[in-house]
């Protein structure tokens, strides 16, 4: 038992050191972003110009809120930012936040009361168990649901960006994306940790 505790302590010490030393953690503190995830979205915005002309956005899995902060800082033509998360999120001026499961019927009712979006973002992660197969299946299920939400709620020419994990096959999801969007890419931002299997699906211009 003692040995297990020691290895747990060693692992958490290593995690803490890696976190504190991380250049994007340090940058997020000096730039006032709530998390280092901000820089992943900034890279996606710069590479794919996903905010150009965009007026309304929904951010699925938004807490603690760094993507919403980025949207506020980078979106020149934005009228509306809606955010949803299972967890609480501290207020960001100009962002309408719902604490809800985006798969719940409660959220389905909420989403019917708002207009369609020009951009659907999903940085949603499931609670990871460490089991690669079940974590992949959980994350794939979330991506499929986010995609189906975006197909129902995006304006024509709107964009969809979602995180997924490269630990399994998502070719069936990509096929649906290619059928419904003019351009589909996968992108690993430099700010995404190299040892993380996360990657972003970027679907541009819904047909
Ligand atoms: C990686 S974090 C998002 C970080 C965020 N993009 C930021 O920049 O602050 C993933 C979030 O997805 C949320 N999440 C997971 N499943 C969800 C669901 N079914 N509905 C809403 N949010 C969910 C989690 O609570 C978590 O806060």
Residue 4: predicted pLDDT: 56
pLDDT confidence tier of residue 10, bands split at 50, 70 and 90: confident
Give the model confidence (pLDDT) of 19-77 as tens digits.
Answer: 777 899 999 999 999 999 999 999 999 999 999 999 999 999 999 999 999 999 999 88
Q: Is 106 in the pocket of ligand 1 (CB under 6 A)?
A: no
Give the model confidence (pLDDT) of 120-170 as tens digits.
Answer: 999 999 888 888 889 899 999 999 999 999 999 999 999 999 999 999 999
Cβ(202)–Cβ(44) under 8 Å? yes
**Does 129 or 184 have the greater pLDDT score?**
184
- Measured in Å, residue 76 CA sits from the centre of ligand 1 at 25
DSSP 36-47: TTHHHHHHHHHH
**Does 21 or 199 have the greater pLDDT score?**
199
**Does 14 or 54 have the greater pLDDT score?**
54
Which atom of ligand 1 is nearest the CA belonging to 67?
8
Q: Is 168 in the pocket of ligand 1 (CB under 6 A)?
A: no
Strands (E), the chain: 56-60, 80-85, 95-99, 117-122, 154-165, 181-187, 198-206
Q: What is the Cβ-side half-sphere exposure of residue 85, based on CA atoms within 13 angstroms?
A: 24
Torsions phi, psi of 157, nearest 5?
A: 75, 5
The ranges assigned to domains in the chain are 1-30, 36-206
Q: Which CATH class is domain 36-206?
A: alpha beta
**Is a pLDDT exceeding 70 seen at residue 175?**
yes
């Amino acid at each position: 038992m003692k040995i297990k505790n020691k290895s747990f302590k060693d692992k958490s010490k290593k995690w803490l050191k890696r976190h504190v030393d991380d250049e994007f953690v340090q940058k997020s503190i000096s730039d006032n972003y709530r998390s280092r995830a901000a820089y992943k979205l900034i890279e996606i915005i710069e590479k794919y110009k996903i905010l150009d002309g965009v007026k309304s956005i929904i951010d699925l899995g938004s807490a603690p809120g760094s993507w919403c902060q980025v949207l506020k800082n980078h979106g020149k033509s934005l009228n509306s930012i809606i955010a949803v998360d299972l967890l609480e999120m501290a207020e960001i001026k100009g962002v309408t936040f719902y604490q809800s499961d985006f798969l719940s019927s409660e959220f389905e009712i909420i989403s019917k009361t708002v207009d369609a979006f020009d951009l659907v973002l999903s940085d949603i992660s499931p609670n990871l168990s460490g089991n690669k197969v079940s974590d992949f299946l959980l994350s794939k299920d979330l991506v499929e649901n986010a995609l189906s939400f975006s197909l129902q709620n995006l304006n024509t020419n709107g964009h969809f960006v979602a995180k997924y994990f490269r630990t399994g096959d998502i070719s069936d999801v990509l096929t649906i994306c290619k059928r419904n969007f003019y351009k589909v890419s996968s992108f690993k931002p430099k700010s995404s940790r190299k040892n993380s299997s996360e990657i972003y699906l970027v679907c541009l211009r819904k047909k």
